[in-house]
Amino acid sequence: MTQLRPFSDHRRGLFVSIDGPSGAGKSTIVAHLSQLLVAEGEHVYTTAEPSNGVLGKIAREMTETVTGAALACLYSADRYHHLETEIQPHLDAGEVVLCDRYVPSALVMQRFDGVDPVFLWSLNALADRPDLAVVLEGAPELIAARLAERGAHNRFQLTPRSSHAEAHFYRQACDRLIQAGYDVLRIDVGTGNAHQIAVTIKNRLMEFFAVSNELPPKAAAW
Ligand SMILES: Nc1ncnc2c1ncn2[C@@H]1O[C@H](COP(=O)(O)OP(=O)(O)O)[C@@H](O)[C@H]1O
Ligand SMILES: Cc1cn([C@H]2C[C@H](O)[C@@H](COP(=O)(O)OP(=O)(O)O)O2)c(=O)[nH]c1=O
């Protein structure tokens, strides 16, 4: 997998983020992935951003009225607090943390308000890099149809051709994340159902567990 691994110490668990356009299937896939990992004997903690904490609630509530850089600050404030109070403690306990939306969403969604991507990156640059950042992709027409069927959750998702804009912003965000050392796994959601996509992600993660469970080389005899 990647050479850069902030949580490479096996005792610290594994941090996996899942992002992608609204309606791509993030929440559905996270639920399947969690079940698959639990069946493998892993301890899994699922969470999402905006978080359920006080700052996450404010960011969600304010999305209809606060815009631009101010809203970007609210989401990133929630992210840093979420890391400190929820994500890091679960990683320290050795669990697999699955986070539905993380930094990639910030690099995409706040661009609907025209926020400069360089500013967005600096706001989020201190957030822990996940061990694996999954980014779901797919034909915007397919994702728009799913979103329409499910229903929009906020003004971003009501923007005309929002799925097309998200696809474009995600491509740029992925380039930035890879440049910053993120291990990005891009998956086309048109290639299978939610279960099959979760299996693809699980297989990638099992490679990590296989490597990290290898015994260290024997210490040289003195
Ligand atoms: N791989 C898939 N194939 C077909 N439909 C899917 C798939 N993944 C999710 N869905 C459906 O698409 C809709 C949006 O899924 P959801 O998980 O809410 O997306 P997100 O969390 O990315 O906004 C739901 O109705 C869900 O049942
Ligand atoms: C994490 C994050 C989310 N958001 C937005 C994107 C979503 O529209 C909203 C979360 O809504 P939610 O209903 O949880 O997402 P989804 O539509 O994917 O099921 O928060 C941001 O604008 N910036 C961020 O940094």
Decide if 186 contacts 135 (C-beta within 8 A): yes
Pick the residue whose CA is nearest to atom 26 on ligand 1: 25
Pick the residue whose CA is nearest to atom 18 on ligand 2: 22
What percentage of the chain reaches a pLDDT higher than 70?
Answer: 90
Confidence tier at 210 by pLDDT (50, 70, 90)? confident
Pick the residue whose CA is nearest to atom 15 on ligand 1: 25
pLDDT of residue 2: 34
- Structure tokens of 11? 């005792």
Pocket of ligand 1 (CB under 6 A): 20, 22-28, 146, 149-150, 189, 193-194, 197
Ligand showing the shortest atom-to-Cα distance for residue 159: 2
Instruction: Give the atom of ligand 2 at the shortest distance from the alpha carbon of 48.
Output: 14
Tally of CA atoms within 13 A in the half-sphere of 40 that contains its CB: 18
Confidence tier at 137 by pLDDT (50, 70, 90)? very high
Interstrand relation of 96-100 and 44-48 (parallel, antiparallel or unpaired): parallel
For 44-56, write each residue's pLDDT tens digit. Answer: 999 999 999 999 9
CB atoms within 10 A of CB 74: 20
Entry pTM: 0.92
pLDDT of residue 8: 43
pLDDT of residue 214: 62
pLDDT of residue 217: 53
User: Of the ranges 7-16, 177-186, 205-214, which one carries the lowest mean pLDDT score?
Assistant: 7-16
pLDDT: is 11 or 201 the higher one? 201
CB atoms within 10 A of CB 138: 21
Q: Is the pLDDT of residue 29 over 50?
A: yes
Q: How far apart are CA 4 and CA 181, in angstroms?
A: 6
Residue 168 CA to ligand 1 centre (angstroms): 20
Q: Which fold has domain 11-211?
A: Rossmann fold (3.40.50)
* Residue-by-residue DSSP string for 20-82: -STTSSHHHHHHHHHHHHHHTT--EEEEESS-SSHHHHHHHHHTTT--HHHHHHHHHHHHHHH
- Structure tokens of 158? 């009501």
Residue 93 CA to ligand 1 centre (angstroms): 30
What integer is the mean pLDDT of 4-14?
Answer: 57
Confidence tier at 216 by pLDDT (50, 70, 90)? low
For 43-89, write each residue's pLDDT tens digit. Answer: 999 999 999 999 999 999 999 999 999 999 999 999 999 999 999 99
pLDDT of residue 12: 83
Q: How far apart are CA 6 and CA 3, in angstroms?
A: 10
Pick the residue whose CA is nearest to atom 15 on ligand 2: 22
Instruction: Give the atom of ligand 1 at the shortest distance from the alpha carbon of 21.
Output: 22
Q: Is the pLDDT of residue 6 over 80?
A: no
ipTM score for this prediction: 0.95
pLDDT of residue 215: 52
pLDDT of residue 7: 47
For 98-108, write each residue's pLDDT tens digit. Answer: 999 999 999 99
pLDDT of residue 146: 94
Q: If you average pLDDT over every residue of the chain, what do you get?
A: 91
